[in-house]
Chains A and B, each alone.
Chain A
């Protein structure tokens, strides 16, 4: 069964450093999402992406964040200058094009900012 994959599974970085989280969505999907989950809290939407542009973004997704689909398979989330409060689990999700499609989630990347 096709699945969403994410790399790395864990990343530790110093405050102020740039990080890039990578996702490979399901191959025939066209809508892509990033969510995050701060430890012990609920899953929060960050951004959605379709047709090579952002469809919607939350107030969390400020100028420090960017997304890109650099090729036909990868979907990346970049945090330019990490803050302590960026420490969280980041989930990528993708969805097909049917009217009743479901978002399928990757296993997540746990980011720890020191």
Chain B
């Protein structure tokens, strides 16, 4: 079955430390891939996306993600986390441009001083 997996429900990172959030997908073909961030009580903000081409994509707020076809993964990274990055992060995929987004269960990031 088609699915998106975010294996980490919660992650705690010290401020200034690096971050990697994992996302794996299970689809017959390579989907379009997205990372969204949701601050408490807020909507969904697009961080970055991958459609094709360079497998390392840059996003807003200093985030980047790497697409690895062999691992069916699209992990989100940031070299130095700030306290304001504390939020919930959702990986999402879509098979074609206009179909529904399928979301992972999310990873809640906590940032410790």
Binding site for B on A (CB under 8 A): 31, 33, 35, 41-45, 48, 50, 55-56, 58, 91, 93, 95, 98-108, 110
Instruction: Write the chain A residue with the least CB distance to B102.
Output: A45
Residues of A within 8 A of B34 (CB): 102
The 10 closest A-B pairs by CB, nearest first: A107-B43, A45-B100, A105-B44, A43-B103, A100-B51, A42-B105, A108-B43, A42-B103, A31-B98, A105-B43
A33 to B42, CA, bound (A): 18
B43 to A: closest C-beta gap in Å: 4
Flag whether B63 is at the interface (Cβ < 8 A): no
8 contacts between A and B (CB under 8 A): A42-B90, A43-B90, A43-B103, A58-B100, A91-B44, A95-B98, A107-B42, A107-B43
Q: Residue B46 at the A interface, CB < 8 A?
A: yes
Tell me, yes or no, whether B110 is within 8 Å of chain A by CB. Answer: no
Query: Once bound together, how far apart are the Cα atoms of A67 and B102, in whole Å?
Result: 20
Majority SS at the chain B contact face: loop
A98 and chain B: residue at smallest CB distance: B97
How far does the Cβ of A31 sit from chain B's closest Cβ, in whole Å?
A: 5
Task: Let me know if A33 and B44 touch, CB within 8 A.
Answer: no
Q: Which A residue's beta carbon lies closest to that of B101?
A: A103
Is A45 in contact with B106, judged by CB distance below 8 angstroms? no
B98 surroundings in chain A (CB, below 8 A): 31, 48, 50, 55, 95, 101
